[in-house]
């Protein structure tokens, strides 16, 4: 796999929505990015409306982890699922 500058690999599929893709991105074993989970991986889900999605998961009993962050690539929010996995919700930045 060709690792890109940001440290991950991008996969593009013909069956996904236009401009859709998946990314596999390894992290250093000592990373704290998955905290407070005690797992070695994290799932990232793309959402259309981060605030509404986060409201739904919290209403469903999930615990939000930290505050929503705005980055160059979009907005990110995190929660812990019932199995103790940290899940990242990503609302991609609008293309200009």
Percentage of the chain with pLDDT > 70? 84
Q: Is the pTM of this model over 0.85?
A: no
Over residues 8-29, the pLDDT tens digits come to: 777 665 656 666 666 778 888 8
Token match 């962050």: residue? 69
Q: Report which secondary-structure segment, H or E, holds 24.
A: strand 22-24
What pLDDT score was predicted for residue 94?
Answer: 83
What pLDDT score was predicted for residue 7?
Answer: 75
Q: Which two tokens stand for residue 36?
A: 């407070």
Residues of the chain with pLDDT under 70: 1, 11-22, 96
What pLDDT score was predicted for residue 12?
Answer: 62
> What is the third-level CATH fold of 9-92?
3.30.720
Rounded Cα distance between 25 and 7, Å, is: 6
CA distance readout (Å), 37 to 2, 40, 46, 52, 70? 28, 8, 20, 23, 22
Burial class (CB in 10 A: 0-12, 13-18, 19+), 2: exposed
């Amino acid at each position: 796999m060709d690792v890109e500058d940001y440290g991950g690999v991008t996969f593009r599929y013909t069956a996904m929505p236009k401009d859709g893709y998946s990314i596999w991105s390894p992290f250093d074993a000592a990373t704290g990015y998955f905290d407070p989970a005690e797992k070695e991986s994290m799932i990232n889900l793309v959402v259309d409306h981060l605030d509404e999605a986060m409201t739904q998961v919290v209403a469903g009993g999930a615990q939000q982890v930290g505050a929503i962050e705005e980055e160059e690539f979009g907005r990110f929010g995190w929660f812990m699922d019932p199995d103790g996995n940290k899940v990242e919700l990503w609302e991609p930045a609008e293309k200009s």
